[in-house]
Amino acid sequence: MSIYSVIKGTGSCIPDHIVKNSDFLQHNFLNEDGTPFPNENKVIIEKFKQITGIEERRYADSSQNASDLASIAAEKALKDANIDKNTIDYIIVAHNFGDVSEGSVQGDTLPSLASKVKNKLEISNPSCVAYDLIFGCPGWVQGVIQAEAFIKSGLAKKVLVIGTETLSRVVDDFDRDSMIYADGAGAVVLEADENTIGRGVLSHAAQTFTEEQVNYLFYGPSYKKSDKSGLRFIKMHGRKIYEFALNHVPLAMKQALDQSGIGIAEVKKICIHQANEKMDEAIVKRFFRLYKQPLLEGVMPMCIDKLGNSSVATVPTLLDLILKGNLPSHEIKKGDVVIFASVGAGMNINAVVYRF
């Protein structure tokens, strides 16, 4: 028998506060140079919806930070796994901006979010090691890759991997890209499991590109030129990210799948980072084209239309929705092969092949 890293439980925290596209009608969107757009907001928002697929997104309550959302998702995953929380060997929390209090863009990572989560979960075992992982939007997938390494090496039997973010608090209100971002958290419990059927993590791939790609996502000043606060916000070169993702993510997915020894015909779902619906569709189509196969209908579940882009939280949240039966027309059955994939700041890309 071989030891596999098997998902024993999943959980997510989807904030209650819904922000619809119509809520941006009165925003004063500006170009990078501070000039206004020639089109009215209604036109800008409709085009935004056509490209991204986003109709609404979720924002965290003012009393909640990223570590709070992470703790809620983690509690649900632990309950779903039906295990003693003090038997967890590692807590890996993927994020990018730490705890950002409402009204501030300053990130708080002292102590680490993982330490805060361990405290909130009231885990008393000092041998449960908690640490943060900053890897852009692919952070949660990378956390799964690290958990797999711990489990395969014998350093851990149970690992809690969480992705959490409150991106709504690090956006420039004058930047139309602010409509993309959302808040949320997702978590899984991975456990060492001996089996002969190859159930669990089968393979993975990851890459970092840091030449001209390094600043495709960055921190920059507000587009409102009269703003002298010195505050900086999340910014991106959207077109460059689109082209980068389309050229590199399918290859990473192929690398991971080829290493697994699984054929493309066995892939039932691709849980890809919910960044941009058209971009994700193009990535998955190109992935199937690498195998000279047409896109499999229903292979790409999406939740970006209602939840927006919550960075590291999108993939585990999507997975939890499917497994809990909360994403209509999508299900994952025993034996199904699923690919987790993501792309984001760094620029980082990764993919994991998993059999349920």
* pLDDT tens digits, one per residue of 117-153: 999 999 999 999 999 999 999 999 999 999 999 999 9
pLDDT (0 to 100) of residue 196 = 76
pLDDT for residue 81 is more than 80: yes
CA distance 95 to 276: 19
- Residue 154 pLDDT grade (very low, low, confident, very high; cuts 50, 70, 90): very high
Residue with tokens 């993590």: 201
Name all domains of the chain by residue range, CATH numbers in brackets: 2-195 (3.40.47.10), 200-355 (3.40.47.10)
pLDDT in tens, 321-352: 999 999 988 999 999 999 999 999 999 999 99
pLDDT, average across residues 163-179: 95
pLDDT in tens, 205-234: 999 999 999 999 999 999 999 888 888 999
pLDDT, average across residues 29-36: 92
Burial class of residue 152, CB neighbours in 10 A (0-12, 13-18, 19+): middle
pTM for the predicted model, two decimal places = 0.95
